[in-house]
Amino acid sequence: MTRPLVICDCDEVLLHFVGPFGDYLTAEHDLSLHLDTFALSGNIRRADGTSIEPTGFMPLLNGFFDTHMVTQTPAPGAATALAALAERCDIVILTNVDDRHSPVRTAELARHGMPYRVVCNNGPKGAPVKALMDEYGASAGAFIDDLPPHHTSVKRVAPSVYRLHMVADPRLHALIPAAPDADARIDDWFTALPALQAALGVTP
Ligand SMILES: [Mg+2]
């Protein structure tokens, strides 16, 4: 009998992102990250208050992942919740970073008590979620991510997968409204665990 499959994002779900990314921008580039809206690229400013150009965003993001992934800290309760789920489910981390970042991401998650398979992706997550569900022949699935468009994509391509919208950093809670295409919005792992167990039919 196949097991349920949990497909979970990394940045701002399992590991904090905006805090370490902002620290990196300040320390390495003399820039600051302002959390006025959830549009990261427009909120990166120079000391004179001007925003960086949109083309400057991806090099900064990749620079962070190249050298500063080790500064990312785990969301409270994430490792414990995934460990509880792993007793009855398979776990895959589906993360939108380049393939070259996979070894460090995998090692960092393991270092924080989350020793699971990492799959790197680029773009919408519906198709890779469907592919993973097929690969595992999963009896049921759950998807956890902080970005609403990914929930829309998964709903369209793999509608039977339970979709949990989670935003780990409290400073972002008011900036990211509940994803309309998610089944639930829960921003902490302690509350999310029983909801996921119920949705996947693995209640203890
Ligand atoms: Mg994320």
Q: Calculate how far, in angstroms, residue 1's C-alpha sits from the geometric centre of ligand 1.
A: 31
Kindly give the distance from the C-alpha atom of residue 181 to the centroid of ligand 1, in angstroms, as a whole number.
16
Q: Is 130 helix (H, G, I), strand (E, B) or coil?
A: helix
**Contact yes or no for 85/91 (Cβ under 8 A):** yes
pLDDT score, position 81: 98
**Strand partners for 44:** 33
Rounded to the nearest angstrom, the distance between the alpha carbon of 14 and the centre of ligand 1 is: 9
Domain count, the chain: 2
Q: Is the pLDDT of residue 23 over 80?
A: yes
pTM reported for the whole predicted model: 0.96
Whether 11 and 41 map to the same domain: the answer is no
* pLDDT for 38 beyond 80: no
- Residue 9 CA to ligand 1 center (angstroms) comes to 6
Choosing from 52, 71, 90, the residue where a domain stops is: 71
Confidence at residue 40, expressed as pLDDT on a 0 to 100 scale: 74
Residues 12 and 34 placed together within one structural domain of the fold = no
87 shares its domain with 139: yes
Q: Are 152 and 89 in the same domain?
A: yes
My answer on whether 31 and 94 are in the same domain is: no
Considering the domain architecture, whether residues 58 and 149 belong to the same structural domain is answered as no
Can you tell me the mean pLDDT for 129-137?
A: 98
pLDDT band with cut points at 50, 70 and 90 for residue 1: low
Burial class (CB in 10 A: 0-12, 13-18, 19+), 160: exposed
CATH of the domain at 183: 3.40.50.1000
Q: Based on the fold, state whether residues 29 and 77 are members of the same structural domain.
A: no
In the three-class reduction of DSSP (H, G, I as helix; E, B as strand; rest coil), residue 115 is classed as coil
Query: Ligand 1 centroid vs 94 CA: distance in angstroms?
Result: 9
**Whether residues 65 and 105 fall in one domain:** no
Same domain, yes or no: 56 and 134: no
The rounded Å distance from CA 23 to ligand 1 centre is: 18
Residue 20: per-residue pLDDT: 97
The predicted model gives 60-83 an average pLDDT of 97
- How far is the centre of ligand 1, averaged over its atoms, from the C-alpha of 11 (Å)? 4
Q: If you measure from the C-alpha of residue 117 to the centroid of ligand 1, how many angstroms do you get, rounded to a whole number?
A: 16
Collect residues with CB below 5 Å from ion ligand 1: 9, 11-12, 146
Q: Is there a single domain that holds both residue 101 and residue 63?
A: no
Average pLDDT of the chain? 96
- 50 C-alpha to ligand 1 centroid (Å): 26
**Interval between CA 166 and ligand 1 midpoint (Å):** 9
Are 9 and 38 part of one and the same domain?
no
**Same domain for 28 and 88?**
no
Q: Which domain holds residue 32?
A: 18-71
Structure confidence by residue, pLDDT tens digits, 156-204: 999 999 999 999 999 999 899 999 999 999 999 999 999 999 999 999 9
